[in-house]
Amino acid sequence: MGFVTTRDGNEIFYKDWGSGPPVVFIHGWPLNADAWEDQMKLVADNGYRGIAHDRRGHGRSSQPFDGYDFDTFADDLNDLVNELDLRDATLVAHSMGGGELARYIGRHGTGRVRKVVLLSAITPSMLQTEDNPDGVPQQALEDIKNGLMHERSQFWKDASEGFFSANRPGNKVTQGNRDAFWFMGMHESLQAGVKCVDAFGFTDFHEDLRKFDVPTLIVHGDDDQIVPINATARKAAEIVPDAVLKVYEGSSHGIAMVPGDKERFNADLLDFLNGG
């Protein structure tokens, strides 16, 4: 574990486990690097070097008042990659992290990248528009910000239900999953929480995806209640050349954490890392 100082003087916390080809995990909102512990151990146990960082405003990283946009997030990731001198890295990103990954490639290219995994990612666009009718309505984004401002602790407790599809019959979500979500959410600053809603809700990543030129795996649950699959994964798979799309039937937004889905994703991730 350590910290990287960004070009604007902020501190980005990261975990660094194992040795071998690097696998960089990029978390979603409002989580942090802890969300990837199962996958970090998986790759470290199988001959890879797992690295996961806390986005600025999240977890143990600096919590500045400004800088919550995807150009800044991508440049923070670039600072981390350069400081650790990572080469031939596989980037694995969840939810909002998919936007961070896409913008990183859009701004910095794939010179240090070997493969890419987009898990329940927001790319290419979250917002509901005439061209993206399956997206998230703007009012829903405003409701999220209002919920955070009203009472964020209860908001995170309530939000964990939809995040993990705990409201579905026969779900395998544990109370521990929901508690961990709340705990990580409470370690995100309120300013970051609100500003990130604008960032992931209104940023378009079509041009970034068109710059992908490495093997890409896209994984998404068809019961994702946070990031609709038809607005994101299915469209991303059409944009990224030769992308492989795997749809998990009945699965939620929190695939990497929920028992059953987690093991399936871990197996798919390891197969993708080991293949070619």
Query: What distance, in Å, lies between the first and last C-alpha atoms of the chain?
Result: 30
In terms of DSSP bridges, do strands 113-119 and 89-94 run parallel, antiparallel, or are they unpaired?
parallel
What residues contact residue 159 under an 8 Å CB cut-off, 6+ apart?
A: 147, 181, 185
Amino acid at 180: A
Does the annotation count 251 as an active-site position? no
- Which is the catalytic residue, given 62, 95, 251, 252? 95
In the beta sheet, which residues pair with residue 220?
247
Does the annotation count 198 as an active-site position? no
Does the annotation count 224 as an active-site position? yes
Distance CA 162, CA 152 (A): 16
Q: Which of 63, 69, 77, 67 is nearest to 26 (CA)?
A: 77
- Which is the catalytic residue, given 76, 79, 224, 261? 224
- Which is the catalytic residue, given 62, 189, 253, 261? 253
Q: At what angle do helices 70-83 and 96-108 cross, to 10 degrees?
A: 70
Catalytic site residues?
A: 95, 224, 253
